[in-house]
């Protein structure tokens, strides 16, 4: 398992466990939920990690079926008895590590096309550490002979402390129905509005924000540490997951709305169509700032 270090910043990767992060530490302090012990076998292992890649789609596809170019596509339900398919295939497959060094690593996943995703494609992630920053690049290449729908994103599980604070701006939020699928797009209600950085608390969210600023701030007062999250072009949606009583929360920059492939105008909700040989890439940077005030 690659272990990257640069100054006070350290990151661990588990290619065989869905390419997941085992940890991200600053001066020994956990920033992501650490993967304790040896990774569990796939497909469950990544669910207990520090985070993983979302490819070739984010979040749910309703009932694991969607229309594409005049035909219906059916996928395997890949999350136990959950009625929908979830997060794509990349988090449930072993990756290969390429070009690993002290400060960087590249992970690659070749997908032959199967019941989880019928198109042949390649997913790759480049991980690079600076003295106080983690830079991520994610790519998806269509290697099939047919056009392929495409979406990308990251699913980090940030360490939750009692006083952790969160801030980001967003135009709208999708309210879910009782199947955990988006139903109405509304302005963020006050309880779920983080335009002013504030204590996260327990808002009970598993929702997708749209039109966000692609900038977020996580502040751990206990650590006297701030994390500035900067998402690149195309990552215009943000999923916030705050499960009750857990020691983590997920803040997920993604390219499309939840269940976008089930929407009438999926492209308007961020889904891309990749022609054979075409690729989609996105970028994310986490920068650390110590609070000396």
Give percent of the chain above pLDDT 70: 100
Contact 97, 2 (CB under 8 A): yes
**Region 84-106 average pLDDT:** 96
Res. 131: pLDDT tops 90? yes
Q: What is the DSSP string of 10-35?
A: EEEEETTTTTEEEEEEETTEESBPP-
Region 73-84 average pLDDT:
94
Report helix, strand or coil for 77.
coil
DSSP 88-138: BSGGGS--EEES--SSEEEEEEEE--BTTBSS-EEEEEEEEE-SSEEEEEE
Confidence check: pLDDT of 42 > 90:
no
Say what the pLDDT of residue 293 is: 64
Q: How many domains does the chain have?
A: 1
Helical segments of 147-240, H only: none
What integer is the mean pLDDT of 169-190? 96
Per-residue pLDDT, 46: 92
pLDDT at 271: 98
What dihedral angle (degrees, nearest 10) is formed by the CA atoms of 53, 58, 59, 60? Answer: -130
By the 8 A CB rule, do 98 and 58 touch?
Answer: no
Task: Taking residues 221-228, report their average pLDDT.
Answer: 97
DSSP β-ladder status, 165-176 and 198-199: antiparallel
> Mean pLDDT score of the chain, rounded to an integer?
96
Instruction: State residue 39's pLDDT score.
Output: 81
> Tens digits of per-residue pLDDT, 234-267?
999 999 999 999 999 999 999 999 999 999 999 9
Interatomic CA distance for residues 181 and 69, integer angstroms:
22
Residue 292 banded pLDDT, cuts 50, 70, 90: confident
**Residue 40 pLDDT grade (very low, low, confident, very high; cuts 50, 70, 90):** confident
Expressed as residue numbers, the domain containing 164 is 3-290
Distance between CA atoms of residues 15 and 232, nearest Å: 24
**Which CATH number goes with the domain that contains 186?**
2.70.98.10
In this structure, of 10-14, 79-83, 140-144, the range with the lowest mean pLDDT score is 79-83
| Percent of the chain that is helix, strand, coil (3-state, to 5) | 5, 50, 45
Q: How confident is the model at residue 21 (pLDDT cuts 50, 70, 90)?
A: very high
Give the burial string for 157-174 (b: 16+ CB within 10 Å, else e).
Answer: bbbbeeebbbbbbbebbb
The answer to whether residues 93 and 55 touch, using CB atoms and an 8 Å cutoff, is no
Q: How many helices and strands (H and E) does the chain possess?
A: 0, 24
Binned at pLDDT 50, 70 and 90, residue 199 comes out as very high
pLDDT, mean of residues 65-87: 95
Tell me the per-residue pLDDT of 202-222, one tens digit each, with 9 for 90 and over.
999 999 999 999 999 999 999
Residues whose CB is less than 8 angstroms from the CB of residue 171 and which lie 6 or more positions away in sequence, other chains included: 187, 210, 211, 212
pLDDT (0 to 100) of residue 45: 84
């Amino acid at each position: 398992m690659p272990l990257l270090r640069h100054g006070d910043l350290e990151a661990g990767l588990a290619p065989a466990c869905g390419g997941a992060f085992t940890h991200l530490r600053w001066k020994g302090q956990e920033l992501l939920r650490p993967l304790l012990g040896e990774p569990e076998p796939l497909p469950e292992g990544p669910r207990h990690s520090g985070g993983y890649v979302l490819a070739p789609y984010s979040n749910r596809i309703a009932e694991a079926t969607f229309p594409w170019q005049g035909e219906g596509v059916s996928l395997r339900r890949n999350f136990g008895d959950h009625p929908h398919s979830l997060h794509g295939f990349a988090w449930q497959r072993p990756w290969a590590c390429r070009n690993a060094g002290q400060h960087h690593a590249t992970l690659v996943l070749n997908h032959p096309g199967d019941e989880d995703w019928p198109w042949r494609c390649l997913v790759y992630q480049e991980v690079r550490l600076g003295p106080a920053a983690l830079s991520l690049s994610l790519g998806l290449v269509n290697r099939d002979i047919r056009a392929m729908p495409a979406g990308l994103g990251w699913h980090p599980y940030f360490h939750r402390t009692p006083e952790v604070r969160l801030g980001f701006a967003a135009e709208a939020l999708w309210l879910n129905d009782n199947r955990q699928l988006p139903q109405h797009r509304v302005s963020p209600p006050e309880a779920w509005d983080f335009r002013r950085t504030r204590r996260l608390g327990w808002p009970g969210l598993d929702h997708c924000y749209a039109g966000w600023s692609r900038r977020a701030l996580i502040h751990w007062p206990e650590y006297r540490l701030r994390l500035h999250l900067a998402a690149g072009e195309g990552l215009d949606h943000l999923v916030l997951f705050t499960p009750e009583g857990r020691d983590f929360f997920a803040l997920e920059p993604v390219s499309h709305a939840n269940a976008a492939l089930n929407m009438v105008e999926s492209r308007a909700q961020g889904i891309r169509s990749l022609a054979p040989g075409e690729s989609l890439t996105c970028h994310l940077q986490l920068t650390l700032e110590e609070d000396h005030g």
